[in-house]
C-alpha cells in the first residue's frame, strides 16, 4: 500500500516542503530510503523501525521503500523521522491516509519512540502556511516556537504513540496546541540602565544618536572608562522591533537551535558579544551543514566587539560585505545559503597597546607603535563605521558624587522612539526604516543640503580626504541629529557635530590627538 506525508528541509532561514512517500509491498523483508540523502537521514531507517517496535506496534515483515521528494534536493538532519514513521504506519493501515494529506510533520525519533526537538521549526511552520497546509505537528519541545503564528493549527507531541492516537482520534490522545496570540509580557526582560553611568555626557549623547538612527559606533578610550558598560546598556534605549523584524530574528534563532524550550517569538533586539578568539565560521556562519553565525544572530540588534584590535583581521574583514548589504552569503557544494545580517556594530578599543594615549604622562608607546596598533583596523572597515567617540577616564569626584544620577534608559528611549516614528513616516513605502540604511541613490531625496551646507561639505571633503562612503555616512548622521531636534532641514550645526564624530577616528588613525 502506498501512503505519503509532508516534511520540510531548511534552506537558509527558509524551508522547502518535502513529500515523504512510503510503499509497502509483499516480498522479502527490506527497508530502503532514497532521495539524495545525507548520512543522518539514511540512519532514520534504524531509528524509525526500532521506535515503532518499542511503541508496541507490530508490523508484518514486508518490503518497504521510502522516497523523499524532490529527489534532486539534498536532505540533511534528523527532522524527517516523524514523517517517515507516519507514512510507514499509514501504509500499514495504522493511520488513515486522508489524515496525512494536509499535515506537515517534523521531529526526531528516539529508539524508545519519544519525539525529540529539532532546529528550524518556525521556518517550517511559515512555509507550511504559505503552501496552504493547515496543520503542522512538531515535537512538544518546539511547540512554543509557533506562538503568535495564525492561519495554521500547530500541535506538539511527545511520542509516537501520541501521534497514532491523535490521527485515530483516540480519547487517550495527549498533545499541546500552540496559541495564536503572543502572551502578555512575552519578550520583556530586565536590562541594565543608563542611569548607572556617571558622567560621560559626550558618550551618552553619541549613544543616543547611534540608537536613534541605528548607526554603527566605535568607542576609543583607556581601560575602565565605561566603554563596555555603555555598550551593554545600549539595547535598553533601542526602538522596539516591528512584527516583521522580530519574525526575522526568531526564524534565525530557530534555525540555530536557540529557541528550544525557551519561549515563542523574540521581541527584544538581540545583543551579541563574541570573544575575540572566535573562529571565522562561528562569526560569519557556515560549517558542513550551514548554521547562522554571530553576525546573523545579531540581526536587527547589536553586535558588540570589545577589544576590537584583538580580533583577527580575517574575522573583522568578514563584516565588510554584511555591513553594506545586510546579509551574508555562504556557498557550499550542496547549494547557497543566505542569512540576514543587518546588525548595529558597536565596537570598543584602547587608543594604543598600553591603553593610555594621548595621556603622555602615562602612555609609553612610540608614534610608530601607536600607528601599528591602529592599523590593525583597516581603512575600508573603519570607513563603514558611522561614528567614532573618544571616551575619557572618569574623574574620582564624579564617581564619589552624591548628585542625582544621569537620565534613565526609559527617558532616553522615549526620545529615541519619537525619532524612530519620524523615520518610519518618512520612509513609508521604502525597503528600509532607519537613517543608517538610506542608500546612496536616495541621499539627495532625504538628505538635501542648502548652498551654505553644500559648501561646507565640499570643503571638509577636500581638506580631510573623505571617501564617497564617508561623505554619505556623515550626511546620515546629520540627518539623525536633525531628526532629534525635529528639524526639517539639515543645518550647518548638524553637519559640524556629525563631522566631529568622524574626525575623532581620523585623528587617532594618524596618531595625532584631535585638538
pLDDT digits (tens, 9 = 90+) for 43-52: 999 999 999 9
- The Cα 64–Cα 192 span in angstroms is 58
Q: How far is CA 152 from CA 80, 132, 174, 452, in A?
A: 20, 9, 19, 58
- Contact call for residues 506 and 377 (beta carbons, < 8 A): no
- Contact call for residues 340 and 327 (beta carbons, < 8 A): yes
Does the pLDDT of residue 176 top 70, yes or no? no
pLDDT interval class at 514 (50, 70, 90): very low
pLDDT interval class at 262 (50, 70, 90): low
Q: Is residue 444 part of a domain?
A: no
- Summarised one tens digit per residue, pLDDT across range 414-439 is 999 999 999 999 999 999 999 999 99
**pLDDT average, residue stretch 288-303:** 93
The pLDDT assigned to 457 comes to 96
Cell digits of residue 93: 493501515
pLDDT interval class at 261 (50, 70, 90): low
What pTM was computed for the model? 0.90
Q: Which helix (H) or strand (E) holds 453?
A: helix 451-463
Parent domain of 296: 194-433
pLDDT interval class at 84 (50, 70, 90): very high
Give the residue carrying C-alpha cell 502556511.
129
- State the maximum Cα–Cα separation within the chain, in Å, rounded to a whole number: 90
Cell digits of residue 369: 607603535
The pLDDT assigned to 123 comes to 94
**Residue 307 bridge partners (DSSP):** none
pLDDT interval class at 503 (50, 70, 90): confident
Domain identity same for 283 and 172 = no
Please confirm whether the linkage preceding 326 is cis (ω < 30° from 0): no
- Contact call for residues 5 and 26 (beta carbons, < 8 A): no
Does the pLDDT of residue 386 top 90, yes or no? yes
CATH number of the domain encompassing residue 402: 3.40.50.300
Give the residue carrying C-alpha cell 559606533.
217
The angle at the Cα of 294, spanning 317 to 240, to the nearest 5 degrees, equals: 115
- The Cα 150–Cα 22 span in angstroms is 31
Boundary-marking domain end, from 134, 150, 177: 177
Domain identity same for 246 and 356 = yes
- Summarised one tens digit per residue, pLDDT across range 199-233 is 888 999 999 999 999 999 999 999 988 999 999 99
Burial class of 262 by CB neighbour count within 10 A (0 to 12, 13 to 18, 19+): exposed
Domain identity same for 161 and 206 = no
Burial class of 184 by CB neighbour count within 10 A (0 to 12, 13 to 18, 19+): exposed
- How crowded is residue 202: how many other Cβ atoms within 10 Å of its Cβ? 13
The pLDDT assigned to 178 comes to 56
Q: How many domains does the chain have?
A: 2
Give the residue carrying C-alpha cell 494529506.
101
Chain CA centroid to CA 435, Å: 20
Domain identity same for 301 and 358 = yes
Closest by Cα among 37, 29, 132, 138 to 79: 138
Domain identity same for 122 and 234 = no
CATH number of the domain encompassing residue 38: 3.30.230.10
- The Cα 319–Cα 308 span in angstroms is 13
- Summarised one tens digit per residue, pLDDT across range 125-168 is 999 999 999 999 999 999 988 877 888 999 999 999 999 999 98
Percent of the chain surpassing pLDDT 90: 70
Q: Which helix (H) or strand (E) holds 21?
A: strand 14-25
Boundary-marking domain end, from 372, 402, 433: 433
Domain identity same for 247 and 218 = yes
Amino acid at each position: 500500500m502506498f501512503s505519503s506525508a509532508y516534511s520540510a528541509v531548511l534552506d537558509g532561514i527558509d524551508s522547502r516542503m518535502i513529500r515523504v512517500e512510503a510503499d509497502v509491498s509483499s516480498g522479502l523483508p527490506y527497508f530502503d530510503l532514497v532521495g539524495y540523502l545525507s548520512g543522518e537521514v539514511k540512519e532514520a531507517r534504524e531509528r524509525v523501525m526500532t521506535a515503532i517496535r518499542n511503541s508496541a506496534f507490530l508490523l508484518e515483515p514486508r518490503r518497504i521503500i521510502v522516497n523523499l521528494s524532490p529527489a534532486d534536493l539534498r536532505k540533511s538532519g534528523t527532522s524527517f523521522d516523524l514523517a517517515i514513521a507516519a507514512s510507514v504506519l499509514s501504509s500499514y493501515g495504522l493511520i488513515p491516509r486522508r489524515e496525512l494529506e494536509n499535515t506537515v510533520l517534523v521531529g526526531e525519533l528516539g529508539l524508545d519512540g519519544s519525539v525529540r526537538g529539532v532546529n528550524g521549526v518556525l521556518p517550517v511552520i511559515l512555509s507550511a502556511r504559505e503552501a496552504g497546509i493547515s496543520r503542522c505537528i512538531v515535537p512538544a519541545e518546539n511547540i512554543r516556537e509557533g506562538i503568535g503564528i495564525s492561519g495554521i493549527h500547530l500541535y506538539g507531541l511527545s511520542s509516537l504513540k501520541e501521534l497514532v492516537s491523535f490521527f485515530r482520534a483516540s480519547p487517550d490522545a495527549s498533545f499541546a496546541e500552540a496559541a495564536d496570540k503572543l502572551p502578555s509580557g512575552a519578550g520583556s526582560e530586565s536590562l541594565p540602565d543608563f542611569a548607572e553611568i556617571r558622567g560621560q555626557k559626550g558618550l551618552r549623547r553619541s549613544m543616543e544618536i547611534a540608537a536613534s538612527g541605528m548607526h554603527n559606533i566605535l568607542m576609543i578610550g583607556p581601560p575602565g572608562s565605561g566603554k563596555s558598560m555603555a555598550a551593554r546598556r545600549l539595547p535598553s534605549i533601542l526602538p522596539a522591533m516591528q512584527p516583521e523584524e522580530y519574525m526575522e530574528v526568531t526564524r534565525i534563532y530557530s534555525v540555530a537551535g536557540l529557541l528550544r524550550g525557551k519561549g515563542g517569538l523574540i521581541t527584544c533586539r538581540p545583543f551579541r558579544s563574541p570573544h575575540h578568539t572566535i573562529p571565522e565560521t562561528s562569526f560569519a556562519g557556515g560549517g558542513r551543514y550551514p548554521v547562522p553565525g554571530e553576525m546573523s544572530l545579531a540581526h536587527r540588534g547589536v553586535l558588540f566587539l570589545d577589544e576590537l584590535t584583538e580580533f583577527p583581521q580575517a574575522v573583522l574583514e568578514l563584516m565588510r560585505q554584511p555591513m553594506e548589504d545586510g546579509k551574508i552569503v555562504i556557498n557550499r557544494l550542496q547549494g547557497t545559503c543566505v542569512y540576514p545580517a543587518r546588525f548595529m556594530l558597536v565596537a570598543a578599543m584602547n587608543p594604543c597597546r598600553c591603553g593610555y594615549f594621548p595621556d603622555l604622562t602615562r602612555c609609553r608607546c612610540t608614534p610608530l607603535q601607536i600607528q601599528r596598533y591602529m592599523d590593525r583596523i583597516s581603512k575600508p572597515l573603519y570607513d563603514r563605521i558611522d561614528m567614532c567617540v573618544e571616551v575619557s577616564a572618569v574623574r574620582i569626584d564624579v564617581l564619589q558624587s552624591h548628585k542625582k544620577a544621569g537620565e534613565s534608559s526609559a527617558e532616553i528611549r522615549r526620545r529615541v522612539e519619537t525619532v524612530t516614528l519620524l523615520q518610519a513616516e518618512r520612509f513609508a513605502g521604502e525597503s528600509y526604516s532607519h537613517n543608517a540604511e538610506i542608500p546612496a541613490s536616495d541621499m539627495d531625496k532625504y538628505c538635501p543640503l542648502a548652498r551654505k551646507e553644500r559648501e561646507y561639505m565640499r570643503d571638509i571633503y577636500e581638506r580631510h580626504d573623505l571617501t564617497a562612503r564617508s561623505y554619505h555616512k556623515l550626511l546620515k548622521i546629520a540627518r539623525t541629529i536633525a531628526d532629534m531636534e525635529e528639524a526639517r532641514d539639515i543645518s550647518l550645526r548638524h553637519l559640524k557635530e556629525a563631522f566631529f564624530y568622524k574626525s575623532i577616528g581620523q585623528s587617532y588613525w594618524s596618531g595625532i590627538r584631535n585638538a
